[in-house]
Structure 1
Amino acid sequence: MIVAGAGVQGTAHLARAQGCQDAFKAVDLGDAAVLAVSDGAGSRDRSALGAHVAVDVAARVLARDIPDASAAPEDWTAWIARCGKTVVEEYLRAVAGVLGADRADSVNRAVSADRAESGDRADSADRADCGDPAGAGDAADAGDPGDLAATLTAALVAPPWVAFVSVGDGFGTLLTRDDRCHLVLPPPEGPPVFLSSPGAALRVRTFVVWEPELSGVVLSTDGCAPLALDHPTVRQLPLSAGPLPADGFFLGLAAALRDTRGDAEPLRRLLSAPEAGRTGDDLTVLCALVERG
């Protein structure tokens, strides 16, 4: 597999002498790879550190006990659901360690509250789609690490399987061998959820995709949306179609990385181009390409 990634400081952050608050990490497992990108909350202290903690935790959790490729879909689904909850728990504990022992007890209470709420939710279909689970906010507020707030978008790429974990506003795209792009993890609507947000363990998006024609997986932070996603009206589609992957961006990126055997310089140049700075936000892209033949 060809694995490559790049992060570029946003123009607005550069103008304010503010460092890049994105982070990314990849782990090459041979026949599989773990990808993780994170966007630190720009308004919070030490958010860049929070983003680095997030990708470290995700890379570690998603590399454990990976199901066999022949496992049933329900086994994969159950595994990635457990990973999602574990990522939030381990992130909170890691941040508590950074912030000091005085925060550890409150973080542990928040983790326990999220676990208890998860059990209650399993018994109540009416609450399954609530944006703010009853009781979760009060319980988790006490353990909110606050100044290390970060989002997370992560994936295990183990062809033909791809398993996703997402907390926040990143997005994920699949490429197939017929040179098609599929936005399987679109950016969510509404304000972003952070790993330290109240009830984050209940808001984790986890799912698996089985794609025998898989050619690549690309994860991006939200700053890349204007560059990598098309508005539906660009293709004469209704607004209900939602954002669509820009084929030229993803297919051009894949071709360049295959030509350079994973040298990330073409990706870095692409993210540094003038048209990439439309939002002023940091831009991070990380991908794994399945070697052909």
Structure 2
Amino acid sequence: MHGLSVEGYRHRRDGVACQDAWRCATDGPVTVLAVADGAGSRPRSGEGSLLAVRLAVEHFGRLPAARTDGPAANRLLRRSFQRVVDDFLDRTGEAAADHATTLTVVVLAPGWLGHASVGDGFVVLRAGTEDGERQFHLLPQPAAVSEYSNETVFLSTPDATRWVRTDCVRDDGVDGVLLSTDGLAQAALSWSGGAPQAPNESFAAAVLRSLDTEAVEPGDEDDRLAALLRSDRLTALNGDDKTLLRAVRTGLAGGGA
């Protein structure tokens, strides 16, 4: 597993710290991956994103490793998300709106993968092959607040769990996963009609391939990924903070990558 958050062009220009965050942890056979994007207009959103990913690892890490059916898994995921929201609101109190952040979580356990998200983060899976080419799949994203609005839902949004999207994937062919905040949406996804429709396969393949094939020191991998995320090409597509969290097969087995 490997992740990194970097400040976007606008924040670098203005001397503002990165408001994205990521975290991952493995406890026995269960691995939890989480990314969060603090709302740029809120004064303590960077603190909020850090708190969100920490709570996600804590609460989702308690899920059972045993393979469950889809409806049962979705109930467990929603219950864990509700606990994250309750804990987040309890810790931030009256200042919850100042800590506004999205949250996207993936749970990796033997035989199944769980996904829970509010906001505009996204998850891409690598699973299976077709004509010898590895296949990539974009997990469904949470619904917009309304068909006329692109407003983002945050953990501090009233009744946030109403908008949470959960999915259970039971596919032993999954051998790679990447999570990101919306700062990489234009680069990592293919768009049509103003909405993401599928992964950008060349981007997903490249960022997962580096974990598959290269034995590099963590610091070297940080430098390489930071250079990519801060590159002129990606900055031209989106000037927001950017986070990328990746895991390949060994991580999906629950033992790190």
| TM-score (ref. length: structure 2) | 0.85
How far does residue 192 in structure 1 lie from its aligned partner after superposition? 0.4
How far does residue 50 in structure 1 lie from its aligned partner after superposition? 0.5
Write the letter of the residue equivalent to 1:66. P
Give the Cα separation in 2 of the matches to 1:145 and 1:163.
Answer: 27
User: What root-mean-square deviation, in Å, do the aligned CA atoms of Structure 1 and Structure 2 show?
Assistant: 2.1
Is 1:217 the equivalent of 2:217?
no
Is 1:89 the equivalent of 2:86?
yes
Corresponding residue for residue 21 of structure 1: 19
Q: Residues 268-283 of structure 1 correspond to what in structure 2 (within 5 A)?
A: 268-278=226-236, 279-283=238-242
Q: Residues 71-82 of structure 1 correspond to what in structure 2 (within 5 A)?
A: 71-82=68-79
- Partner deviation per Cα, 1:237-291 (whole Å, 9 max, x = no partner): xx49843211111111111122234743333232122111122100001122113
- Partner deviation per Cα, 1:90-115 (whole Å, 9 max, x = no partner): 1111212xxxxxx4xxxxxxxxxxxx
Give the Cα separation in 1 of the matches to 2:225 and 2:128.
Answer: 21
Is residue 81–residue 207 contact of structure 1 (8 Å, CA) maintained in 2?
no
Larger Rg: 1 or 2?
Answer: 1
State percent identity of aligned pairs: 34
Q: Residues 94-105 of structure 1 correspond to what in structure 2 (within 5 A)?
A: 94-96=91-93, 103=94
Question: 258-267 or 81-90, which moves further after superposition?
Answer: 258-267
Is 1:195 the equivalent of 2:150?
no
Is residue 145–residue 196 contact of structure 1 (8 Å, CA) maintained in 2?
yes
| Partner secondary structure for residue 66 of structure 2 | coil
Write the letter of the residue equivalent to 1:87. V
Corresponding residue for residue 147 of structure 2: none
Moved over 6 A (4+): none
Give the Cα separation in 2 of the matches to 1:43 and 1:260.
Answer: 39
- Partner deviation per Cα, 1:105-158 (whole Å, 9 max, x = no partner): xxxxxxxxxxxxxxxxxxxxxxxxxxxxxxxxxxxxxxx721111110011012
| Partner secondary structure for residue 98 of structure 2 | coil
Is residue 24–residue 36 contact of structure 1 (8 Å, CA) maintained in 2?
yes
Q: Residues 1-293 of structure 1 correspond to what in structure 2 (within 5 A)?
A: 3-69=1-67, 71-96=68-93, 103=94, 145-178=96-129, 179-186=134-141, 188-189=143-144, 190-232=150-192, 239=193, 242-261=196-215, 263=218, 264-265=221-222, 266-278=224-236, 279-291=238-250
Corresponding residue for residue 129 of structure 1: none
| TM-score (ref. length: structure 1) | 0.75
How far does residue 185 in structure 1 lie from its aligned partner after superposition? 3.2
Write the letter of the residue equivalent to 1:225. A
Is residue 35–residue 104 contact of structure 2 (8 Å, CA) maintained in 1?
yes
| Partner secondary structure for residue 99 of structure 2 | coil
Is residue 181–residue 243 contact of structure 2 (8 Å, CA) maintained in 1?
yes
Write the letter of the residue equivalent to 1:64. R
Write the letter of the residue equivalent to 2:112. W
Larger % of strand: which? 2
Change (3 A) 1:220 1:188: farther
Note the residue ranges of structure 1 that are not aligned, 5 or more in a row: 97-102, 104-143, 233-238
| Partner secondary structure for residue 97 of structure 2 | coil
Question: 179-188 or 206-215, which moves further after superposition?
Answer: 179-188
How far does residue 46 in structure 1 lie from its aligned partner after superposition? 1.1
| Partner secondary structure for residue 96 of structure 2 | coil
Give the Cα separation in 1 of the matches to 2:20 and 2:9.
Answer: 13
Change (3 A) 1:241 1:42: closer
